[in-house]
Amino acid sequence: MSARPTVVVTRRLPDPVEQELARDFDARLNTDDRPLGPDGLREALKSADALLCTVTDKLTAEVLSAEPLRARILANFGVGFNHIDTEAAKARGLAVSNTPDVLTDATADTAMTLLLMVARRTGEGERHLRAGQWTGWRPTHMLGTHVSGKTLGLVGMGRIARAVAQRAHHGFGMKVIFHDPYPPPADVAASLGAEPRARLEQVLKEADFVSLHCPATPETRHLMNKERLSLMRADAYLINTARGDVVDEAALVEALTARKIAGAGLDVYEKEPQVTPALLMMENVVLLPHLGSATRETRVAM
Ligand code: DGY
C-alpha cells in the first residue's frame, strides 16, 4: 500500500494541477471527465483519504452516509459549496475546504461581461451579424443602454461583489449601492465608492443593474422571487454570477415576458446544465455556461 494519501479527483483538472496531484498523492484522476454520480462518490468516500470534488458532485447526507467511511476531507474545487451538506459532513468528521480569493477577479470580470453584454446588446448583435442580417451602419441600429454613470446595486458585499464595485465605480464611473446583512467596514465600502442600503428592497428599487453576490443557502433560495423582481425598475437588468438557486427562474421568465425588467445576464441556473427553454428564446437575455472562474490562470490557482 502506498504511504501517500489517496485522493479521488472527481473531474478533469488543468494539466499542471493533475501533474502536481500525481506527484504528491496517490491520485485517482478522472481521465474521462464523467461525473461519478452518487454511487461513485460513495465508493470514493469508502476507498480514499480525500475527495477533491466540485460543483457537479451532489454530496448529500445520503451520499455522505457511506460506510465504512475512509475519507477525512472534501476538498472542494470552487468557492461555492451549496452542493455539499456541510452539517452531514461535520457529523461524519469530514473537513470541508474551498477555493476563495483566487477566483474573485475572474468572477467579477464575468459579472461585468454580462452587464456590458446585456446593456449593449452584444450577444444579439453578434448573432445578427453572423446570420448575415447586417445591412450597414445606421443611427438607429440596435441601440442599447448606457453603462457609465448608471447605478449598480449589489446584493451581498463579499469578496466578489467588492471586486465588481471596484471595476464598476473606478472603471465605469458607476454609482454603487449595496445591501449585505454583514456589511464591510465603512472605510472599505467608501474606498469602492459603495453606499450601503439598510434594506434589499431599496437596492432593487434604485438600481439600473442588480448584480447578485450572495451565497446559496436555504435563506437565499429564490431570494429574487416574483415580489422582489417586481420591485426592480422596468428599465433595469438582473445579473447573476452567484448561484441559480438565488433566482426563481420561472418568476424571472414571467418578469422578462411581461417587460417588468429590461433584461438579464446569467451565468448560473437553477437546474444546471438545463436552462428554462423560454430564456433561450429571449434576445434581451445573455446566457453563459457557468464560466465565472473559467480562466486558465484561475483554474490552476484554484
Ligand atoms: C465556484 O467556485 O463556486 C464556481 O461557481 C464553481 O463551483
Q: How many angstroms separate the CA atoms of 171 and 108, rounded?
A: 13
Q: Could you tell me which residues come within 8 angstroms of residue 15 by beta carbon, excluding any fewer than 6 positions away?
A: none
Indicate if 11 belongs to the active site: no
Per-residue pLDDT, 295: 98
Indicate if 272 belongs to the active site: yes
pLDDT in tens, 270-299: 999 999 999 999 999 999 999 999 999 999
Per-residue pLDDT, 225: 98
Q: How far is the CA of 109 from the centre of ligand 1 (A)?
A: 14
Q: Is residue 1 predicted with pLDDT exceeding 80?
A: no
Q: Which atom of ligand 1 is nearest to the CA of 83?
A: 7
pLDDT in tens, 92-146: 999 999 999 999 999 999 999 999 999 999 999 999 999 999 999 999 999 999 9
Indicate whether residue 79 lines ligand 1 (CB < 6 A).
Answer: yes
pLDDT in tens, 177-233: 999 999 999 999 999 999 999 999 999 999 999 999 999 999 999 999 999 999 999
Q: Which amino acid is at 262?
A: A
Q: How far is the CA of 78 from the centre of ligand 1 (A)?
A: 4
Q: Is residue 10 predicted with pLDDT exceeding 90?
A: yes
**For 1-5, 61-65, 202-206, which range has the lowest pLDDT when averaged over its residues?**
1-5
| Residue tagged active-site, from 92, 159, 213, 290 | 290
Q: Choose which residue among 96, 103, 240, 299 to substitute to test ligand 1 binding: the one with the highest number of ligand atoms within 8 A of its C-beta.
A: 103
**Distance between the two ends of the chain, CA-based, in angstroms?**
29
Indicate whether residue 103 lines ligand 1 (CB < 6 A).
Answer: yes
Indicate if 83 belongs to the active site: no
Note whether 256 and 285 are within 8 A (CB).
yes
Indicate whether residue 55 lines ligand 1 (CB < 6 A).
Answer: yes
Q: Choose which residue among 81, 97, 293, 298 to substitute to test ligand 1 binding: the one with the highest number of ligand atoms within 8 A of its C-beta.
A: 293
